[in-house]
Amino acid sequence: MADRYLNHIGGKWMPAGDGEWFENRNPADTNDLIGLFPKSSKADVDAAVQAASDAFDGWRLMPAPKRGELLYRLGEILAARKEEIARLMTREMGKILKETRGDVQEGIDTAFYAAGEGRRLFGDTVPVELPNKFGMSIRQPIGVCGLITPWNFPMAIATWKMFPALICGNTVILKPASDTPASAVKLVEAVLEAGVPAGVVNLVHGTGSGVGIPMVEHPDVRLISFTGSSAVGKDIATRCGPQLKRLSLELGGKNAQIVMADADLGLALEGALWGAFGTTGQRCTATSRLIIHKPIKEKFLKILVERARQIRIGSGLEETTEMGPLVNEGQLETVMKYVEIGKKEAKLLCGGNRLSAGAHRNGWFYEPTIFAEVAPRARIAQEEIFGPVLSVIDASDLEDAIRILNDTRYGLSSSIYTRDINAAFRAIRDIEAGITYVNGPTIGAEVQLPFGGVKDTGNGHREASHTVLDTFSEWKSVYVDYSGKLQKAQIDTVE
């Protein structure tokens, strides 16, 4: 009998109203059934919105430092369960244990960061024009927030949204990706154990069309925070538009690492391998383009290919594995399709095969794949593949490298390896991306710095840092006139 996991609505665990279920299987071994999850529909979303609306007043009126204490306790609970959650996460989405532990750690960091905000949530007090009058700005919660998340960072991304939303006084409904519903259950269990009141955090499992769209379109959901593909982000934006609904979008990427001839090549090599093949290339910040300065091309690629071939591929639960499977069959098919396109567009240096024998026979495994001599406008250099595929593009100098890097519709993460401080600062200034690393790979965000991108990667919001508070709160300006008479701003003048 498979384990059955439930939705959480208004403080109660419950199945979908329709009684439908979907399966969640291990991508490293599809015989391993993790459990059955409620396949929810609009009626379940409506119930969750009602519960979140009912809980809103109680939660927003709880002093923010008190809300912060609950989040602090939640951080401690996640820390105590880190290993258990990481193991389950590896089982359901495939990335290796070291990475799922890091994913949970990001949730813990976010909890402590948000807990501290409970005693800040700074506004401004500013001088005003007229005598005996006081001016300040304060943050106010928005209401019920719909959180829609992808599968690649089941804990980090859910907590990046949920904890800032909560500290600002909002109530939430989480709709996790259907590939990683179990991690979301573990998160909500920890939320409840920390003492967050019923209805403040609700969990509704299901598909994008069955749950995501009804949540986006529900008039009482005042904000949607979405992380996922640019195509779905655009669809959500068109649905939110007519309701003038607040919307934060974190979307795709086609991130590049530049390696200049003067770089520490050993360091750049480690960065490229980790950036391209970490999380099996399924990070929104993954390095999918390597822009290489021509003088070092041959030497660098020779070692890169040697090292890529040595990457140990298998179940992420084995401590010796360096790269796990792709998350599902659809993602594998996407990778295979792009490798076929790449073979026509560029030179295949290594990889290019599905692994389906022996220990790999029941999973969605694929070799680390590198293409060289890729034209900057080739499809494999422009479209997000979301797999272990690296496209290498030649650059003649720094200006050429930056021009190639910027020549994409995305703008999430970027990186440059150089020992030339002038080149590094020019890159920081001229690269069009939300994140630039100098002498580090494109991956590795920390919660105290803003996270997000430009162009088709988003719509101008940032997660993490104090900047995320601007997504989850409304500014209110407050004027207190203690003069006892009518004073007219811009009309009455003070002699």
227 touches ligand NAD by CB under 6 A: yes
Could you tell me if 265 and 300 are in contact, meaning their C-beta atoms sit under 8 angstroms apart? yes
335, amino acid identity: V
Q: Among positive and negative, which fits the CA dihedral 372, 377, 379, 382?
A: positive
From 78-86, 225-233, 290-298, 472-480, span contacting ligand NAD (CB under 6 A): 225-233
213 touches ligand NAD by CB under 6 A: yes
**Considering only residues 261-290, where is the footprint of ligand NAD by CB under 6 A?**
284
214 touches ligand NAD by CB under 6 A: no
Could you tell me if 187 and 155 are in contact, meaning their C-beta atoms sit under 8 angstroms apart? yes
Could you tell me if 14 and 168 are in contact, meaning their C-beta atoms sit under 8 angstroms apart? no
Name the token pair of 278: 């970490």
Nearer to ligand NAD, 92 or 349 (CB): 92
150 touches ligand NAD by CB under 6 A: yes
State the Cα–Cα distance between residues 475 and 138, nearest whole angstrom.
6
State the Cα–Cα distance between residues 11 and 200, nearest whole angstrom.
8
Min dist. Cβ of residue 482 to ligand NAD (A): 46
Contacts of 221 (CB under 8 A, 6+ apart): 49, 144, 145, 146, 173, 215, 245
From 86-94, 246-254, 400-408, 477-485, span contacting ligand NAD (CB under 6 A): 246-254
187 touches ligand NAD by CB under 6 A: no
State the Cα–Cα distance between residues 194 and 163, nearest whole angstrom.
13
Nearer to ligand NAD, 228 or 376 (CB): 228
Nearer to ligand NAD, 56 or 226 (CB): 226
Could you tell me if 135 and 477 are in contact, meaning their C-beta atoms sit under 8 angstroms apart? yes
**Considering only residues 397-456, where is the footprint of ligand NAD by CB under 6 A?**
412
312, amino acid identity: R
Min dist. Cβ of residue 179 to ligand NAD (A): 7
Distances (CA, A) of 20 to 5, 102, 156: 12, 33, 28
232 touches ligand NAD by CB under 6 A: yes
151 touches ligand NAD by CB under 6 A: yes
99 touches ligand NAD by CB under 6 A: no
End-to-end CA distance of the chain: 83
248 touches ligand NAD by CB under 6 A: no
102 touches ligand NAD by CB under 6 A: no
Catalytic residue among 145, 240, 284, 350: 284
Nearer to ligand NAD, 236 or 308 (CB): 236
Catalytic residue among 217, 250, 384, 463: 250
From 247-255, 264-272, 390-398, 425-433, span contacting ligand NAD (CB under 6 A): 247-255
Min dist. Cβ of residue 474 to ligand NAD (A): 23
Residue 284 is a catalytic residue: yes
Min dist. Cβ of residue 236 to ligand NAD (A): 5
State the Cα–Cα distance between residues 170 and 121, nearest whole angstrom.
14
Kindly report the number of other CB atoms within 10 A of residue 175's CB atom.
30
Nearer to ligand NAD, 161 or 293 (CB): 161
Contacts of 288 (CB under 8 A, 6+ apart): 253, 254, 255, 256, 276, 281, 384, 385, 389, 390, 391
State the Cα–Cα distance between residues 89 and 187, nearest whole angstrom.
11
Among the listed residues 208, 440, 444, 450, the single contact to ligand NAD using CB under 6 A: 208
State the Cα–Cα distance between residues 441 and 413, nearest whole angstrom.
9
Site string for ligand NAD, 453-482 (x = CB under 6 A): ----x-------------------------
Min dist. Cβ of residue 81 to ligand NAD (A): 23
Min dist. Cβ of residue 454 to ligand NAD (A): 11
3-state secondary structure 349-399: EECCCEECCHHHCCCCEECCEEEECCCCCCHHHHCCCCCCEEEEEEECCHH
252 touches ligand NAD by CB under 6 A: yes
Name the token pair of 243: 């309701």
The residues of the shown chain that bind ligand NAD, judged by CB under 6 A, are 148-153, 157, 175, 177-178, 207-208, 212-213, 216, 227-229, 232, 235-236, 250-253, 284, 384, 386, 412, 457
Residues annotated as catalytic are: 250, 284
